[in-house]
A = this chain, B = another copy of it.
Amino acid sequence: MAHDRVAGRLGAELTRECGITINEFDVLLYLRTHPNDVVRISALLDAVPLSQPALSRLVARLEARGLLARSDVQDDARATALCLTPSGTALTDQAIAIHASTIHDALTGKLSDQEQAALVRLLSQVGQ
């Protein structure tokens, strides 16, 4: 396949195993790791590489599938708060496991443990 860019492979694996795209995963992961925050769509803009309209529609799709729920925000009638439903939490945990093992499979056999650590360190430096 030509889709063997790393990001492409991660996305394909998630779609096949969990029925979600990489962007949907990013949103679910953000909610999973901020369970006690009031999460607005605008907060997701900093965590997911999408435009506001795309995020709005993505959230609507996840809500329609019963993976997340919306509620009103105290003191600001413009905004909406998002949180995972129980089935959304379960699916996210499953996706996290798949994601981790896909990354592991992609690196194991190609890089030693030391090389993997070095790669992670360099990439996180670039990402700052």
A residues within 8 Å of B by Cβ? 2-8, 45-50, 106-107, 110-111, 115, 118-119, 122-123, 125-128
Cβ B125 vs Cβ A122 within 8 A: no
Q: Which residues of B contact A110 (CB under 8 A)?
A: 125-126, 128
| Chain B residue at minimal CB-CB distance from A9 | B49
10 contacts between A and B (CB under 8 A): A2-B46, A2-B48, A5-B49, A8-B49, A106-B126, A115-B125, A118-B118, A118-B122, A119-B119, A119-B123
Given contacts A4-B49, A115-B122, list 13 more A-B pairs with CB under 8 A. Answer: A2-B46, A2-B47, A3-B49, A4-B127, A6-B126, A8-B49, A106-B126, A110-B126, A110-B128, A111-B122, A111-B126, A118-B118, A119-B126
Q: Which residues of B contact A49 (CB under 8 A)?
A: 2-5, 8
Q: Which residues of B contact A118 (CB under 8 A)?
A: 118, 122
